[in-house]
Amino acid sequence: MNTSRADAVPYLSTEELFREVNERIVRLNQEFESPEGEYLCECPNSLCAERLRLTLAEYEAVRRDPCRFLMAPGHERVGSIVLEQNASYEVVAVPVSRHLTIVH
Ligand SMILES: [Zn+2]
């Protein structure tokens, strides 16, 4: 079955849209065998342009669970659960409207 991604987009949260972009960055980094990449902050602010430097392994550890999102410190929604935090980024639990298909 071939579902159109364009049809699904209006139902995605901002966090999920940023995740979609980052999935493409992951694929590019894999293609160029780059161990480090700049990933977009996956916070709910659609105008956020913050980029976070992570290794591919670090980002893959975040996105392994589709409910975990990468954000710059302090960018999470009020009341969100911060699962991990370090100086440059944090991992936030976000309820997703649908589970993204993760392409390996
Ligand atoms: Zn942000």
Q: How far is the CA of 9 from the centre of ligand 1 (A)?
A: 20
Instruction: State the total domains in the chain.
Output: 1
Contacts of 53 (CB under 8 A, 6+ apart): 36, 37, 38, 39, 88
Classify residue 100: in a domain, yes or no.
no
Taking a 5 Å cut-off on Cβ, the residues next to ion ligand 1 are 41, 43, 48, 50, 72, 75
Give the pLDDT band (50/70/90) at residue 98. Answer: low
Mean pLDDT calculated for residue range 65-86: 95
Q: How far is the CA of 71 from the centre of ligand 1 (A)?
A: 6
Question: What mean pLDDT is reported for the chain?
Answer: 86
Classify residue 46: in a domain, yes or no.
yes
Instruction: Give the model confidence (pLDDT) of 25-44 as tens digits.
Output: 999 999 988 889 999 999 99
The model's pTM? 0.78
State residue 11's pLDDT score. 74
Residue with tokens 């709910």: 44
Classify residue 33: in a domain, yes or no.
yes
Classify residue 70: in a domain, yes or no.
yes
Classify residue 98: in a domain, yes or no.
no
Classify residue 103: in a domain, yes or no.
no
Q: How far is the CA of 102 from the centre of ligand 1 (A)?
A: 22
Classify residue 75: in a domain, yes or no.
yes
Classify residue 32: in a domain, yes or no.
yes
User: Could you list the residue range(s) of the whole structural domain that residue 58 is in?
Assistant: 5-93
State residue 8's pLDDT score. 47
Instruction: Give the model confidence (pLDDT) of 4-21 as tens digits.
Output: 555 544 678 899 999 999
